[in-house]
Amino acid sequence: MYDIVGKRRWFYLFSALITIPGLLFVLAGPLTNGQVGLQFSIDFTGGTIWEVHFRDGTPTPAEVRAVLAEQDLDGSVAITTSGDREYVLIRTEPIGLVDFPEASPSPSPSPDGSPSPSPDGSASPGVSPSPDASPSPSPSPAVPAVDIPTDGPLAELATALQDRLGPIDEVRQEASIGPLISSELAQQALLLIVLGSAGILGWMTFRFSDFRMGVVAIAALIHDVLVVVGIFAILGTFIGLQIDALFVTAMLTVIGFSVHDSIVVFDRIRENRVRHAGEPFASIVNHSLLQTLGRSINTSLTTVMVLVALLLFGSDAIRAFIFAMVIGIISGTYSSIFNASALLVTWHEWADERRQRQVAAARSA
């Protein structure tokens, strides 16, 4: 029988090797003013959102990003969205307020057909219709003007986009996200993760009547979060991979998968402690790991296969989200099998040794 628990120190070492480099990159972020470490999208830093439709066909996100790069907006995001027709959603750093052209009102005729008076009270000049004149055809309805900005950095961006990709014939969305809203979003994301972890700790302590199982499950959960965040910090430094609002969703999903695998193993440990009463705790845990190993790997493998397909063929809008899910599920399966159970054995052995020392000290006294 393969002794997984007996080799737990090697698993601890491997976990340190995959978490410490990423953690160093995360900690280096504040020291380097964001040049190194996590790169946040405008969901967290604030910025401008502009969603438009091009008359001559929807360009690819890569073509839009090329124009944005020429305007010194390298960190911007461009994705294709759908509705009644395809639009391009552009997210950039804050680029100022939007000034739209103001339409001057045309003079409307008075009810009796005479020209409307001018502001000074005199009638507007005009030609009186002759009695035998036939009525002129009613004018065709005016085409509504597109709200294209006329001044400021956004106007320069609109001009560059239209010169390269064709006229913009509809603006569906234009909004600015301030840094205050972004900081509140970051605080809410952190609060969600903390509350979720606290709830998991309380439920597992109640479910298994063992506080230690809840604590080691949270430790494995923190390991998985550190792995994902660390990899994003490293890739954000070298290739500009950004964290957006969907990253929080990915983290919460990863937490759920990680705890699920830990619960499967811990439930089998609880059953085997009754069946194999009298055996060392490390041996019971090792039996339980071997019995649940195939189930845990098969469940995670089938999930990862679907996510990899989405990563390769899915939209750019969800690619970072899917990438975080893939890393988190692989890490969650590893930590539940090789870290959480191993930590539980180490804690039990440390408690037994401490109890034996206390008994020995009491007898000698």
pTM of the predicted model, to two decimals? 0.74
Chain centre to alpha carbon of residue 206: 32
Residue 99 above 50 pLDDT? no
DSSP calls for 164-217: HH--EEEEEEEEEE-HHHHHHHHHHHHHHHHHHHHHHHHHHHHHHT-HHHHHHH
The candidate with the shortest Cα–Cα distance to 164, out of 267, 65, 36, is 65
Q: Give residue for tokens 């005016």.
A: 142
User: Which residue type does 178 have?
Assistant: G
Residue 39 confidence (pLDDT): 87
- Delimit the domains of the chain by residue range: 5-40+180-364, 47-101+149-177
Residue 182 confidence (pLDDT): 59
- Per-residue three-class SS string for 146-170: CCCCCECHHHHHHHHHHHHHCCEEE
d(Cα 168, Cα 160) in Å, to the nearest integer?
11
Residue 208 confidence (pLDDT): 84
Which residues are within 8 A (CB) of 169 and not within 5 positions of it... i.e. 6 or more apart? 53, 54, 55, 146
Task: Tell me the per-residue pLDDT of 321-346, one tens digit each, with 9 for 90 and over.
Answer: 999 999 999 999 999 989 999 999 99
Are 50 and 161 in contact by the 8 Å Cβ rule? The answer is no
User: For 46-50, 214-218, 269-273, 286-290, which range has the lowest pLDDT when averaged over its residues?
Assistant: 46-50
Mean pLDDT for the stretch of residues 71-82: 81
Confidence of residue 181 (pLDDT cuts 50, 70, 90): low
Query: 5-40+180-364 maps to which CATH number?
Result: 1.20.1640.10
d(Cα 228, Cα 251) in Å, to the nearest integer?
8
Residue 11 confidence (pLDDT): 94
Encoded tokens for 139: 């004018």
d(Cα 259, Cα 198) in Å, to the nearest integer?
12
Percent of residues, the chain, with pLDDT higher than 70: 83
DSSP calls for 280-339: -HHHHHHHHHHHHHHHHHHHHHHHHHHHHHHHHHS-GGGHHHHHHHHHHHHHHHHHIIII
Which residues are within 8 A (CB) of 349 and not within 5 positions of it... i.e. 6 or more apart? 281, 282
Are 194 and 225 in contact by the 8 Å Cβ rule? The answer is no
Encoded tokens for 342: 């191993």
Residue 179 confidence (pLDDT): 63
d(Cα 211, Cα 266) in Å, to the nearest integer?
12
Percent of residues, the chain, with pLDDT higher than 90: 34
Q: Give residue for tokens 């408690």.
A: 351
- Which CATH number among 1.10.3470, 3.30.70, 2.60.200, 3.50.4 corresponds to the domain 47-101+149-177? 3.30.70
Residue 114 confidence (pLDDT): 47
d(Cα 365, Cα 358) in Å, to the nearest integer?
10
